[in-house]
Amino acid sequence: MTATTVGAETRNTDRTFSEKVTRFIGRSPVHIVLGLIGLIWLVPSLGLLITSFRPSSDMRASGWWTIITNPSFTLDNYVRVLESEGIGAAFLNSVFITVPSTLIPLVVASLAAFALAWIRFPFRDTVFLVIIGLMLIPVQIGFIPLVQGLKPTGLLTNFGAIWLTHAAYALPFGIFLLRNFFITLPKDLIEAARIDGASNLGIFRTIVVPLSVPAIASYGIFQFLWTWNDLLMSLVYVQRNAAQPMPVKITQLLGTYASEWSLLAAASFLVMVVPLIVFFSLQRFFVQGLLAGSVK
Protein backbone atom coordinates (compact mmCIF):
# COMPACT_ATOMS: atom_id res chain seq x y z
CA MET A 1 0.00 0.00 0.00
CA THR A 2 2.72 2.46 1.00
CA ALA A 3 4.73 1.38 -2.01
CA THR A 4 2.05 2.49 -4.47
CA THR A 5 1.71 5.87 -2.76
CA VAL A 6 5.44 6.46 -3.03
CA GLY A 7 5.31 5.46 -6.68
CA ALA A 8 2.49 7.89 -7.38
CA GLU A 9 4.37 10.74 -5.71
CA THR A 10 7.47 10.11 -7.78
CA ARG A 11 5.40 10.07 -10.93
CA ASN A 12 3.82 13.41 -9.99
CA THR A 13 7.13 15.12 -9.36
CA ASP A 14 8.28 13.96 -12.80
CA ARG A 15 5.73 16.22 -14.41
CA THR A 16 7.92 19.33 -14.17
CA PHE A 17 9.98 20.07 -17.24
CA SER A 18 13.41 19.85 -15.62
CA GLU A 19 12.48 16.52 -14.05
CA LYS A 20 11.49 15.21 -17.46
CA VAL A 21 14.77 16.34 -19.00
CA THR A 22 16.77 14.79 -16.16
CA ARG A 23 14.87 11.55 -16.56
CA PHE A 24 15.45 11.48 -20.30
CA ILE A 25 19.18 12.10 -19.91
CA GLY A 26 19.29 9.51 -17.15
CA ARG A 27 17.81 7.01 -19.54
CA SER A 28 19.66 8.02 -22.67
CA PRO A 29 22.33 5.31 -22.26
CA VAL A 30 19.49 2.80 -22.51
CA HIS A 31 18.23 4.42 -25.71
CA ILE A 32 21.73 4.56 -27.18
CA VAL A 33 22.46 0.90 -26.44
CA LEU A 34 19.08 -0.25 -27.72
CA GLY A 35 19.43 1.91 -30.82
CA LEU A 36 22.82 0.39 -31.52
CA ILE A 37 21.41 -3.11 -31.03
CA GLY A 38 18.56 -2.28 -33.40
CA LEU A 39 21.09 -1.18 -36.03
CA ILE A 40 23.27 -4.27 -35.65
CA TRP A 41 20.21 -6.47 -36.07
CA LEU A 42 18.71 -4.64 -39.05
CA VAL A 43 21.59 -3.28 -41.13
CA PRO A 44 23.10 -6.59 -42.37
CA SER A 45 19.72 -7.79 -43.69
CA LEU A 46 18.97 -4.35 -45.12
CA GLY A 47 22.31 -4.41 -46.94
CA LEU A 48 21.47 -7.70 -48.57
CA LEU A 49 17.96 -6.51 -49.49
CA ILE A 50 19.37 -3.39 -51.20
CA THR A 51 22.04 -5.46 -52.94
CA SER A 52 19.40 -7.78 -54.36
CA PHE A 53 17.92 -4.78 -56.25
CA ARG A 54 21.22 -3.29 -57.48
CA PRO A 55 22.74 -4.02 -60.89
CA SER A 56 25.62 -6.44 -60.40
CA SER A 57 28.09 -4.04 -62.07
CA ASP A 58 27.27 -1.47 -59.33
CA MET A 59 27.56 -4.17 -56.69
CA ARG A 60 31.13 -4.96 -57.75
CA ALA A 61 32.12 -1.29 -57.90
CA SER A 62 30.73 0.13 -54.66
CA GLY A 63 29.12 -0.75 -51.35
CA TRP A 64 25.33 -1.00 -51.04
CA TRP A 65 25.32 2.05 -48.74
CA THR A 66 26.25 4.27 -51.73
CA ILE A 67 22.65 3.77 -52.88
CA ILE A 68 21.91 7.02 -51.00
CA THR A 69 24.11 9.11 -53.30
CA ASN A 70 23.84 6.93 -56.39
CA PRO A 71 20.40 5.29 -56.50
CA SER A 72 19.92 2.50 -59.01
CA PHE A 73 17.31 -0.20 -59.10
CA THR A 74 16.74 -3.35 -61.10
CA LEU A 75 14.75 -6.58 -60.94
CA ASP A 76 17.27 -8.40 -63.16
CA ASN A 77 18.77 -10.36 -60.28
CA TYR A 78 15.39 -11.82 -59.32
CA VAL A 79 14.54 -12.63 -62.93
CA ARG A 80 17.87 -14.32 -63.42
CA VAL A 81 17.85 -16.48 -60.25
CA LEU A 82 14.23 -17.48 -60.75
CA GLU A 83 14.61 -18.45 -64.39
CA SER A 84 18.09 -19.44 -65.39
CA GLU A 85 19.51 -20.41 -61.98
CA GLY A 86 16.63 -22.70 -61.05
CA ILE A 87 15.53 -20.94 -57.86
CA GLY A 88 11.96 -20.83 -59.18
CA ALA A 89 11.89 -24.61 -59.48
CA ALA A 90 13.62 -24.90 -56.11
CA PHE A 91 10.92 -22.70 -54.55
CA LEU A 92 8.29 -25.18 -55.74
CA ASN A 93 10.40 -28.08 -54.46
CA SER A 94 10.54 -26.36 -51.07
CA VAL A 95 6.73 -26.18 -51.06
CA PHE A 96 6.40 -29.84 -52.12
CA ILE A 97 8.81 -30.89 -49.38
CA THR A 98 7.46 -28.67 -46.62
CA VAL A 99 3.71 -29.23 -46.82
CA PRO A 100 3.63 -33.03 -46.32
CA SER A 101 6.61 -32.82 -43.94
CA THR A 102 4.43 -30.59 -41.76
CA LEU A 103 1.05 -32.29 -42.14
CA ILE A 104 2.21 -35.89 -41.57
CA PRO A 105 3.78 -35.31 -38.13
CA LEU A 106 0.90 -33.01 -37.14
CA VAL A 107 -1.66 -35.80 -37.61
CA VAL A 108 0.53 -38.64 -36.33
CA ALA A 109 1.72 -36.73 -33.24
CA SER A 110 -1.82 -35.58 -32.37
CA LEU A 111 -3.11 -39.16 -32.46
CA ALA A 112 -0.29 -40.47 -30.28
CA ALA A 113 -0.50 -37.53 -27.89
CA PHE A 114 -4.23 -38.19 -27.43
CA ALA A 115 -3.58 -41.81 -26.50
CA LEU A 116 -0.85 -40.78 -24.07
CA ALA A 117 -3.07 -38.16 -22.46
CA TRP A 118 -6.54 -39.74 -22.37
CA ILE A 119 -6.46 -43.52 -22.97
CA ARG A 120 -5.25 -45.84 -20.25
CA PHE A 121 -2.83 -48.52 -21.34
CA PRO A 122 0.00 -50.46 -19.72
CA PHE A 123 3.43 -48.78 -19.55
CA ARG A 124 1.93 -45.48 -20.69
CA ASP A 125 4.31 -43.38 -18.59
CA THR A 126 7.27 -45.47 -19.71
CA VAL A 127 6.33 -44.94 -23.35
CA PHE A 128 6.11 -41.20 -22.74
CA LEU A 129 9.52 -41.13 -21.05
CA VAL A 130 11.02 -43.02 -24.00
CA ILE A 131 9.54 -40.42 -26.34
CA ILE A 132 11.09 -37.60 -24.28
CA GLY A 133 14.38 -39.45 -24.61
CA LEU A 134 13.96 -39.74 -28.38
CA MET A 135 13.68 -35.92 -28.58
CA LEU A 136 17.44 -35.81 -28.22
CA ILE A 137 18.38 -38.25 -30.97
CA PRO A 138 20.28 -36.12 -33.48
CA VAL A 139 19.32 -36.54 -37.14
CA GLN A 140 22.90 -37.68 -37.80
CA ILE A 141 22.12 -41.00 -36.08
CA GLY A 142 19.92 -41.96 -39.02
CA PHE A 143 22.05 -40.77 -41.92
CA ILE A 144 24.10 -43.86 -42.71
CA PRO A 145 21.53 -46.64 -42.17
CA LEU A 146 18.65 -44.70 -43.72
CA VAL A 147 20.56 -43.64 -46.84
CA GLN A 148 21.70 -47.24 -47.28
CA GLY A 149 18.29 -48.68 -46.52
CA LEU A 150 16.28 -46.23 -48.64
CA LYS A 151 18.51 -46.40 -51.72
CA PRO A 152 16.79 -49.49 -53.22
CA THR A 153 13.31 -48.02 -52.57
CA GLY A 154 13.81 -45.03 -54.88
CA LEU A 155 12.55 -42.71 -52.13
CA LEU A 156 15.80 -40.74 -52.14
CA THR A 157 15.21 -39.46 -55.67
CA ASN A 158 11.62 -38.37 -55.14
CA PHE A 159 10.37 -36.64 -51.99
CA GLY A 160 9.47 -39.80 -50.05
CA ALA A 161 12.61 -40.05 -47.94
CA ILE A 162 12.66 -36.38 -46.92
CA TRP A 163 8.93 -36.43 -46.02
CA LEU A 164 9.25 -39.49 -43.83
CA THR A 165 12.50 -38.48 -42.13
CA HIS A 166 11.31 -34.93 -41.45
CA ALA A 167 8.08 -36.37 -40.05
CA ALA A 168 9.77 -39.01 -37.89
CA TYR A 169 12.37 -36.68 -36.36
CA ALA A 170 9.68 -34.10 -35.55
CA LEU A 171 7.46 -36.63 -33.75
CA PRO A 172 9.07 -36.85 -30.31
CA PHE A 173 8.90 -33.07 -29.80
CA GLY A 174 5.38 -32.90 -31.24
CA ILE A 175 4.06 -35.73 -29.09
CA PHE A 176 5.68 -34.18 -26.01
CA LEU A 177 4.23 -30.74 -26.73
CA LEU A 178 0.73 -31.87 -27.65
CA ARG A 179 0.40 -34.48 -24.90
CA ASN A 180 1.29 -31.81 -22.32
CA PHE A 181 -1.37 -29.56 -23.81
CA PHE A 182 -4.06 -32.23 -24.21
CA ILE A 183 -3.69 -33.29 -20.58
CA THR A 184 -4.70 -29.80 -19.41
CA LEU A 185 -8.11 -30.06 -21.10
CA PRO A 186 -10.99 -30.39 -18.60
CA LYS A 187 -11.34 -34.00 -17.54
CA ASP A 188 -15.08 -33.68 -16.94
CA LEU A 189 -15.70 -32.78 -20.54
CA ILE A 190 -13.98 -35.88 -21.87
CA GLU A 191 -15.44 -38.24 -19.26
CA ALA A 192 -18.92 -36.88 -19.93
CA ALA A 193 -18.52 -37.56 -23.65
CA ARG A 194 -17.41 -41.12 -22.80
CA ILE A 195 -20.53 -41.65 -20.68
CA ASP A 196 -22.60 -40.43 -23.63
CA GLY A 197 -21.07 -43.24 -25.63
CA ALA A 198 -18.62 -41.24 -27.73
CA SER A 199 -15.75 -43.28 -29.14
CA ASN A 200 -12.12 -42.28 -28.61
CA LEU A 201 -11.87 -41.18 -32.23
CA GLY A 202 -15.05 -39.13 -31.77
CA ILE A 203 -13.68 -37.46 -28.61
CA PHE A 204 -10.40 -36.79 -30.41
CA ARG A 205 -12.11 -35.21 -33.42
CA THR A 206 -14.92 -33.27 -31.79
CA ILE A 207 -13.43 -32.23 -28.43
CA VAL A 208 -9.66 -32.52 -28.17
CA VAL A 209 -8.60 -31.19 -31.58
CA PRO A 210 -10.95 -28.18 -31.67
CA LEU A 211 -9.92 -27.16 -28.14
CA SER A 212 -6.20 -27.55 -28.92
CA VAL A 213 -5.97 -25.38 -32.02
CA PRO A 214 -3.41 -22.98 -30.46
CA ALA A 215 -1.02 -25.80 -29.51
CA ILE A 216 -1.45 -27.64 -32.81
CA ALA A 217 -0.95 -24.40 -34.75
CA SER A 218 2.22 -23.59 -32.80
CA TYR A 219 3.65 -27.01 -33.53
CA GLY A 220 2.59 -26.75 -37.18
CA ILE A 221 4.29 -23.38 -37.62
CA PHE A 222 7.42 -24.55 -35.85
CA GLN A 223 7.63 -27.63 -38.06
CA PHE A 224 6.82 -25.65 -41.21
CA LEU A 225 9.67 -23.22 -40.58
CA TRP A 226 12.02 -25.98 -39.53
CA THR A 227 11.52 -27.91 -42.77
CA TRP A 228 11.37 -24.79 -44.95
CA ASN A 229 14.69 -23.53 -43.57
CA ASP A 230 16.42 -26.90 -43.37
CA LEU A 231 19.60 -27.51 -45.34
CA LEU A 232 21.22 -30.59 -43.79
CA MET A 233 18.36 -33.11 -44.15
CA SER A 234 17.86 -32.17 -47.81
CA LEU A 235 21.58 -32.54 -48.54
CA VAL A 236 21.36 -36.11 -47.27
CA TYR A 237 17.88 -37.33 -48.20
CA VAL A 238 17.19 -35.55 -51.52
CA GLN A 239 19.62 -37.07 -53.96
CA ARG A 240 18.31 -35.72 -57.25
CA ASN A 241 19.43 -32.25 -58.24
CA ALA A 242 16.11 -31.30 -59.85
CA ALA A 243 14.29 -32.02 -56.56
CA GLN A 244 16.48 -29.87 -54.31
CA PRO A 245 14.81 -27.19 -52.17
CA MET A 246 15.98 -23.58 -51.99
CA PRO A 247 18.60 -23.77 -49.20
CA VAL A 248 20.52 -26.48 -51.09
CA LYS A 249 20.27 -24.49 -54.34
CA ILE A 250 21.62 -21.40 -52.58
CA THR A 251 24.68 -23.28 -51.33
CA GLN A 252 25.23 -24.47 -54.92
CA LEU A 253 25.00 -20.86 -56.16
CA LEU A 254 27.45 -19.89 -53.43
CA GLY A 255 29.88 -22.45 -54.83
CA THR A 256 29.46 -21.29 -58.43
CA TYR A 257 29.22 -17.51 -57.95
CA ALA A 258 31.24 -16.93 -54.80
CA SER A 259 31.16 -13.13 -55.09
CA GLU A 260 28.05 -12.50 -57.20
CA TRP A 261 26.32 -10.98 -54.19
CA SER A 262 23.44 -9.54 -56.26
CA LEU A 263 22.35 -13.04 -57.29
CA LEU A 264 22.97 -14.58 -53.88
CA ALA A 265 21.07 -11.73 -52.22
CA ALA A 266 18.04 -12.18 -54.48
CA ALA A 267 18.03 -15.95 -53.89
CA SER A 268 18.39 -15.47 -50.12
CA PHE A 269 15.48 -13.07 -49.99
CA LEU A 270 13.31 -15.52 -51.85
CA VAL A 271 14.01 -18.17 -49.19
CA MET A 272 13.31 -15.59 -46.44
CA VAL A 273 10.01 -14.32 -47.82
CA VAL A 274 7.78 -17.15 -46.64
CA PRO A 275 9.08 -17.28 -43.03
CA LEU A 276 8.85 -13.49 -42.80
CA ILE A 277 5.21 -13.57 -43.92
CA VAL A 278 4.54 -16.28 -41.33
CA PHE A 279 6.40 -14.25 -38.72
CA PHE A 280 4.44 -11.06 -39.28
CA SER A 281 1.02 -12.63 -39.75
CA LEU A 282 1.14 -15.33 -37.08
CA GLN A 283 3.59 -13.81 -34.62
CA ARG A 284 1.73 -15.03 -31.54
CA PHE A 285 1.62 -18.70 -32.60
CA PHE A 286 5.09 -18.35 -34.03
CA VAL A 287 6.67 -17.25 -30.77
CA GLN A 288 4.67 -19.84 -28.84
CA GLY A 289 5.83 -22.52 -31.25
CA LEU A 290 9.45 -21.62 -30.86
CA LEU A 291 9.20 -21.32 -27.10
CA ALA A 292 7.13 -24.43 -26.57
CA GLY A 293 10.12 -26.70 -26.83
CA SER A 294 12.04 -25.09 -24.03
CA VAL A 295 9.52 -23.45 -21.73
CA LYS A 296 6.25 -25.14 -21.08
Partner 1 sequence: MAVASPPASRGSQPKSRGDGFQINWTALLFMLPAALLLLVFLIFPAIFTFGLSFDRGRGGEFSEFVGLRNYINLFTNDPNFLRIGFPPSGALWNNVLWVIFYTFLCVFLGLLIAVMATRVRYEAIIKAVVFLPMAIAATAIGVIWSFVYFPNANTGLMNALLGIFGIGPVAFLGSPDTVNWAIIAVGVWGSVGFATVILSAALKGISTEVLEAARVDGASERSIFFKIIIPMVSLPISVVAVTLVVNVIKLFDLIFVMSRGGPGASSRVIAFSMYQEAFPTGRYGYGAAIAIVMLLLLVPVLIFNVRRFNSERVTA
Residues 3-22 binding partner 1 (CB under 8 A) are 3-4, 6-7
Task: Scan residues 225-264 and list those touching partner 1 (CB under 8 A).
Answer: 225, 228-232, 235-236, 246-247, 250-251, 254, 259, 261, 264
Tell me the window of 13-21, 63-71, 83-91, 212-220 that interacts with partner 1 (CB under 8 A). Answer: 63-71
65 binds partner 1 (CB under 8 A): yes
Interactions with partner 1, residue window 191-230 (CB under 8 A): 191-192, 194-195, 200, 204, 225, 228-230
Least gap, CB of 167 to partner 1 (angstroms): 6
Contact between 179 and 292 under an 8 Å Cβ cutoff? The reply is: no
**Single residue of 36, 119, 213, 242 touching partner 1 by CB under 8 A:** 119
Residue closer to partner 1 by CB (options 100, 293) is 293
SS3 per-residue string spanning the chain: CHHHHHHHHHHHHCCCHHHHHHHHHHHHHHHHHHHHHHHHHHHHHHHHHHHHCCCHHHHHHCCHHHHHCCCCCCCHHHHHHHHCCCHHHHHHHHHHHHHHHHHHHHHHHHHHHHHHHHCCCCCHHHHHHHHHHHCCCCCHHHHHHHHHHHHHHCCCCCCHHHHHHHHHHHHHHHHHHHHHHHCCCCHHHHHHHHHCCCCHHHHHHHHHHHHCHHHHHHHHHHHHHHHHHCCHHHHHHCCCHHHCCHHHHHHHHHHHCCCCHHHHHHHHHHHHHHHHHHHHHCHHHHHHHHHHCCCC
Cβ distance to partner 1 smaller for residue 18 or 295: 295
- The binding track of 126-165 with respect to partner 1, each residue x by CB under 8 A or -, is -x-x-xxxxxxxxxxxxxxxxxx---------------xx
Judged by CB under 8 A, which of 8, 25, 68, 295 binds partner 1?
Answer: 295
Judged by CB under 8 A, which stretch of 67-75, 78-86, 124-132, 210-218 contacts partner 1? 124-132
User: Which residue's CB is nearer to partner 1, number 231 or number 242?
Assistant: 231
Using CB under 8 A as the binding rule, the residues of this chain from 75 to 114 that contact partner 1 are 107-109, 111-112, 114
Query: Using CB under 8 A, which residues numbered 28 to 47 contact partner 1?
Result: 30-31, 33-34, 37-38, 40-45, 47
